[in-house]
Amino acid sequence: MKPYVFVFLLLLCVLATLTIALSLEPPEAASGVVHPDFGTMSQGGDADRHEGRLLGGWIYGSLQIGLFVFLIGQCVPSGRPMRWVIGASGGLYLAVYLALILSYGKGVEGAPFILGFPLPTAWLVFGMWPISALFAILYATQYAKWIYTPEDASRFQSIKERYQGGPENGS
Amino acid sequence: MDPNRIILFCVLAYMALCVAIGLWALKRTRNTSDFFMASRNLGVLITGIALFSSIMSGFGFVGGPGLVYRMGISSFWILVTTPIGFALAFFLVAKRIRLLAELRNSISLPDIAAARYRCPKVRGLVAVAILCGVIAYLATQIRAMAFVLQEIFASNGVWGHDSVVFCVVVSCTVLVFYCVTGGIIASVYTDLFQGIVMVVVAVLIFVGAVGAIEGGMGGMMEVILKDNAEAAGPWGTLGMLGCLSWFFLFTLGVAGQPHVVTKMMMSRKVEDARRTLPITLLGYTVTALLWIGIGMLMRAVVLNGGQAELARADDAAAVFLQSYAHPVLAGLVFAGLFAAIMSTADGFLNIGAAAIAHDIPRALTGNAIRHELLWARVATVVLAILAAVFALQSPIQLIGQLGAFGWGVFASALVPVVGLGLNWRGGSRKAALAAIVFSLAANGGLVIAQMAGFSIPYGVSGGALALMGSTLVFVGISLASRSDLLSPDIEEVMKL
């Protein structure tokens, strides 16, 4: 088995196991309860529902981010310049997710407001959301270096010429 | 002028424009390559806007605000996934699928799968998975269109609230007309117009929503937090594990949505992908403002007593428009809502018609059917009728489940087979077949179980579990089976 397949499979297995393990014996209000005054809304109980599970949630989310970044990294052939930037962006993404978890651990009530959101939520809205756009920026700016180089384009032209008249419509 | 008349006028004008685009595209649709693939001649702007508008469906404009109203911040996790989800889909699929489409003159996703795995069974099963997801998704979109039209007609005294069949017929007629006449060309050009309407409307609504309560966004959050701190926290009321399961499903799942990846095959040049992604991302992010703005405002005003409780969470957008928006803006939003629904539905009709008229006959007989373009048009009509009947006959509870079923089937069947299979030479045809069968069984089983009252602990998404399972099946069976021989041209393209 190639190492990258092994890493992918391992990440996936751990994620699947964690999904099951973390779901066992859910406390009350684990996924919300009906609001006492407004039946069409739900409430989340209090933060105790995540007690003892925050570390698991951090690992679970971090593994997911790791899996996404790993897949992105595998789409860029090794040896192409600045490939390490993908890893660094992944590191930044993980750091923001860690900040979200830590600030949530300190509590939402009493947290300072940042641009209209309590700090833990602000990490989600102004941290995780824009930071993940880094990968799209990398795709757009490094496309000709990583994804489809001028050499790739001429190789593709040569493939097309050699196999012209071959099967069509996927046959 | 009566505000309801303005709304009706805006929606009718929008429908007339869609019909006009259909007639314009009719002259440009001469063969199946035009009908399904727009002759691989779409510019960057059109592809970028068509991509985001086909994924921001009626769910985004109706269901999204409803989720924020019901659960607080939880559904932000669906929005937060978009940048990395789209980026991942582009990294995994965009270049390779476009190269293969050009190399083999492929006009559908099952064409690509058949070329990759050298297997007609894979083509057939991918087509069946697409068809299952399409009918389920289309049914929800048709029901949403009819629901909106019913409200508009009723408020104008044109027809009562018992007019659901009539509304389904009217909305489907417009949709089918431009899809049959102009195929994917009409679809993407209406998407362009629909996308622009959605962006304008979302910005105006967000500004209006933030200004509707004292203290703006901070004011809304304070009200929500005072009622229940968890609702204002990063996990909302759904909780951590449920949110993280959405994070997984919606990030990885984009690469398996056929109405998205098929459009990646249509761009004029392979290199266009680099500029398409930022346009798609920007468009989606701006339209997401409507989701956030309306949802948060409606939760806050109901909690502080400024508004009576909504009859249903999904009424958040409609009540906001009646109570807080200028009639002209409300008219525009209703047109935008139609735009959001139709831009998703037209893409589904097109890929579903391709599955029926192009892929399944080839999988069964090995040959194309005669007069494929004619049959593609017939298939479009038949598919719309099937989905409409399904939408009308199914209970509301099932309709809600079907949207999730559609996304789940696409994600769990196509992410491993297409997303991973195009990047990993070791993916085998046996594994591809097993992953699709697993996906259909798992998603179908979950819908039945949920209808029977079963719920997954912690609100974990069934689609996320199915996606994890099908990916494990795909990788596991590929590793356990001997690797298949690839066509030499495909092998060379996979090395690029």
- 8 Å CB contact between B135 and B387: yes
pLDDT in tens, chain B (496 residues): 677 788 788 888 888 888 888 888 888 888 888 888 877 888 899 999 988 887 877 777 778 888 899 999 998 999 988 889 999 999 999 999 999 999 988 889 999 999 999 989 999 999 999 998 888 888 888 888 887 788 778 777 776 556 778 888 888 888 888 888 888 888 888 888 878 888 888 898 899 888 888 888 999 999 999 999 999 999 999 888 889 989 999 999 999 999 899 999 999 999 999 999 999 999 999 999 988 999 999 999 999 998 899 888 888 888 888 788 887 788 777 777 777 787 788 888 889 999 999 999 998 988 888 888 889 899 999 999 988 888 887 766 556 567 777 888 899 999 999 999 999 888 899 999 999 999 999 988 888 887 788 878 788 888 888 998 999 899 889 988 888 888 888 989 988 8
What is the rounded CA–CA span in Å between residue B484 and residue B496?
Answer: 19
Residue closest to B118 by CA, chosen among B100, B93, B91: B100
**Mutation target among B241, B252, B428, B467 for the A interface, most CBs of A within 10 A:** B241
- 8 Å CB contact between B252 and B415: yes
Q: How many helices (H) and strands (E) does chain A have?
A: 6, 4
Whether A169 shows a pLDDT value over 60: the answer reads no
What is the rounded CA–CA span in Å between residue B345 and residue B323?
Answer: 29
CB burial of A3-15 (b: ≥16 within 10 Å; e: otherwise) equals eebeebbebbebb
AA letter at B488: P
Neighbours of B270 (CB within 10 A): 22
What is the rounded CA–CA span in Å between residue B289 and residue B60?
Answer: 10
Between chains, do B475 and A9 touch, taking CB under 8 Å as contact?
yes
Q: Is A64 helix (H, G, I), strand (E, B) or coil?
A: helix
What residues of chain B, 248 to 277, have a C-beta less than 8 Å from chain A?
248, 251-252, 270-271, 273-275, 277
ipTM: 0.90
Nearest residue in chain A measured CA to CA from B474: A9
What is the rounded CA–CA span in Å between residue B35 and residue A75?
Answer: 31
Neighbours of B229 (CB within 10 A): 21
- 8 Å CB contact between B432 and B113: yes
Q: Is B483 exposed, middle or buried (0-12, 13-18, 19+ CB in 10 A)?
A: exposed
pTM for this model (two decimals)? 0.90
Longest Cα–Cα distance in chain B: 72
In this structure, the strands spanning A113-114 and A117-118 are antiparallel
What is the rounded CA–CA span in Å between residue B219 and residue B217?
Answer: 5
**Mutation target among B67, B91, B429 for the A interface, most CBs of A within 10 A:** B91
Neighbours of B51 (CB within 10 A): 33
Classify residue A145 by its DSSP letter.
I
CB burial of B29-48 (b: ≥16 within 10 Å; e: otherwise) equals beebbbbbbbbbebebebbb
Using one digit for the tens of pLDDT, what is the confidence trace for A123-167? 999 999 999 899 999 999 999 988 899 999 999 999 988 887 555
In this structure, the strands spanning A117-118 and A42-43 are unpaired
The CA angle A102-A65-B130, to the nearest 5 degrees, is 135
Whether A61 shows a pLDDT value over 80: the answer reads yes
Identify the pLDDT of residue A78. Answer: 78
Identify the pLDDT of residue B94. Answer: 93
Bridge partners (DSSP) listed for residue A114: A117
Question: CB contact, 8 Å: B460 with chain A?
Answer: yes
Confidence of residue A1 (pLDDT cuts 50, 70, 90): very low
Q: How far does the CA of residue B464 sit from the closest CA of chain A (Å)?
A: 10
Between chains, do A61 and B244 touch, taking CB under 8 Å as contact?
yes
**Token reading at B255:** 């690469």
- Provide the percentage of residues in chain A whose pLDDT is more than 70: 81
- Count how many Cα atoms sit within 13 Å of the Cα of residue A153 in the half-sphere of its side chain: 11
Whether A67 shows a pLDDT value over 60: the answer reads yes
CA distances (Å), B7 to each of B2, B144, B331, in order?
A: 9, 17, 4
- Backbone region of residue B495 per phi and psi (left: phi > 0; alpha: psi in -120 to 50; beta: other values): alpha
Q: How many helices (H) and strands (E) does chain B have?
A: 23, 0
The CA angle B118-B123-B127, to the nearest 5 degrees, is 165
Tokens 């605000």 belong to which residue?
B65
CA distances (Å), B429 to each of B117, B415, B424, B433, in order?
A: 5, 14, 12, 6
Between chains, do B274 and A74 touch, taking CB under 8 Å as contact?
no
Residue closest to B264 by CA, chosen among B156, B354, B184: B184
AA letter at B133: G
> Using CB atoms, which residue from B105, B468, B489 is nearest to A19?
B468
**Mutation target among B37, B86, B88 for the A interface, most CBs of A within 10 A:** B88
Between chains, do A136 and B277 touch, taking CB under 8 Å as contact?
yes
CA distances (Å), A86 to each of A64, A74, B95, in order?
A: 15, 10, 18
What is the rounded CA–CA span in Å between residue B330 and residue B1?
Answer: 14
**Mutation target among B228, B428, B454, B477 for the A interface, most CBs of A within 10 A:** B228
**Token reading at A13:** 């297995």
CA distances (Å), B417 to each of A165, B22, B117, B307, B420, in order?
A: 27, 34, 9, 48, 6
Between chains, do B228 and A152 touch, taking CB under 8 Å as contact?
no
Using one digit for the tens of pLDDT, what is the confidence trace for A17-48? 666 666 666 677 777 888 999 988 998 877 67
Contact list in B for residue A112 (CB cut-off 8 A) is none
Question: CB contact, 8 Å: B475 with chain A?
Answer: yes
Q: How far does the CA of residue B144 sit from the closest CA of chain A (Å)?
A: 19
Question: CB contact, 8 Å: B487 with chain A?
Answer: yes
Q: Is B416 exposed, middle or buried (0-12, 13-18, 19+ CB in 10 A)?
A: buried
Helix (H) or strand (E) holding B378: helix B372-393
Q: Is A35 helix (H, G, I), strand (E, B) or coil?
A: coil
